[in-house]
Amino acid sequence: MALTATSTATITTLLISLFFLPKLCSSEFTIDHHHRRFAKADVDLLEFPLNLEFFEAEFFLYGALGYGLDKVAPNLTKGGPTPLGAKKANLDHFTQDVILQFAYQEVGHLRAIQKVVKGFPRPLLDLSKESFAKTVDAAIGKKLSPPFDPYYSGVHFLLASYLIPYVGLTGYVGTIPKLKAPSSRRLVAGLLGVESGQDAVIRAYLYEHAKEIVSPYGITVGEFTNRFSELRDRLGHQGRKDEGLVVPLAEGAEGKINGNVLAGDADSVAFDRTAEEILRIVYGSGDEKKPGGFYPKGGNGRIARSHLL
């Protein structure tokens, strides 16, 4: 049967569409070094965590080794400024071993993200004992004497470390549903797995010592974690998304236990946070538009910088 003019036009249009379809689709994706496709819409979401990964890498490296990325992997810094006030911590052998493992894991995280997206220079980080002391004072509600020093001992360093990976992992939980490409979700899920493991190790160690008094403050390890979690909730402004190591019975798993070695909601599912909540917390200002705290000049990348315009 002969084709009508209308059917001929339809077929022609379809063929032209099929010819251009790969080009149209490819414009929505970027290709990494392993030839995996990542949605361009995911780039900002994949870059933002570099702010936290830089923080963790530097804090752990300096704590364990006394030096950071400038010596270990200078190419990953992309010329960003050297952190302020970071130094080697007075760690026992076990804690030194664990923190060094964390440090090199964070180097891998930075590399994994930068394989996929261009990234940005390391932001200016204030990792001085004075910076940590201000955060701890805000959590406790008064100035501690002597000021809290994260580099003083293994317990002090792990308490300071309690402030870091958990914020990042809640950000990864919040990011995954927003990602378009399966390869993007796979990357972030992999990062989340290790960040969650780090947080679990830190919490487990601190939980074992939860009832011990942190000298010379007369405050237990468990109470420090509770105060840190309360501070993060206050700064985040999005309700309860944080829990210390010892909670009221009603808030424990299934409402049946006070111990809280892992944090989670009523169904023991991990909490999530947005980039804006994370900025409010790490800036210590409760406002994503007001940098400070550990990030004196704010975070880098389009998401962080867009709030500073």
pLDDT of residue 39: 74
Contact 134, 123 (CB under 8 A): no
The set of residues, in sequence order, having a beta carbon less than 8 Å from that of 7 and lying 6+ positions away, is none
Residue by residue, pLDDT tens for the chain (309 residues) are 445 555 555 555 544 444 444 443 445 656 555 545 667 789 999 999 999 999 999 999 999 999 999 999 999 999 999 999 999 999 999 999 999 999 999 999 999 999 999 999 999 999 999 999 999 999 999 999 999 999 999 999 999 999 887 899 999 999 999 999 999 999 999 999 999 999 999 999 999 999 999 989 999 999 999 999 999 999 999 888 899 999 999 999 999 999 999 999 999 999 999 999 999 999 999 999 999 999 999 999 999 999 997
* Interatomic CA distance for residues 123 and 105, integer angstroms: 19
Question: Exposed, middle or buried, 285 (CB in 10 Å: 0-12/13-18/19+)?
Answer: middle
pLDDT of residue 7: 54
pLDDT of residue 133: 97
Encoded amino acid at 119, one letter: G
**Backbone phi and psi for residue 196, each to the nearest 5 degrees, phi listed first:** -65, -40
Q: Token pair of 90, please? A: 């007075």
* Interatomic CA distance for residues 105 and 110, integer angstroms: 9
**Backbone phi and psi for residue 219, each to the nearest 5 degrees, phi listed first:** -120, 135
pLDDT of residue 142: 96
The set of residues, in sequence order, having a beta carbon less than 8 Å from that of 120 and lying 6+ positions away, is 47, 50, 78, 80, 300, 301
Strands (E), 108-248: 213-214, 219-220
Residue 125 vs residues 74, 259, 265: alpha-carbon distances, Å: 16, 34, 31
pLDDT of residue 6: 52
The set of residues, in sequence order, having a beta carbon less than 8 Å from that of 291 and lying 6+ positions away, is 283, 285, 297, 298, 299, 308
User: Comparing C-alpha atoms, which of 267, 281, 29 is closest to residue 135?
Assistant: 281
Q: Token pair of 258, please? A: 């006070």
pLDDT of residue 166: 84
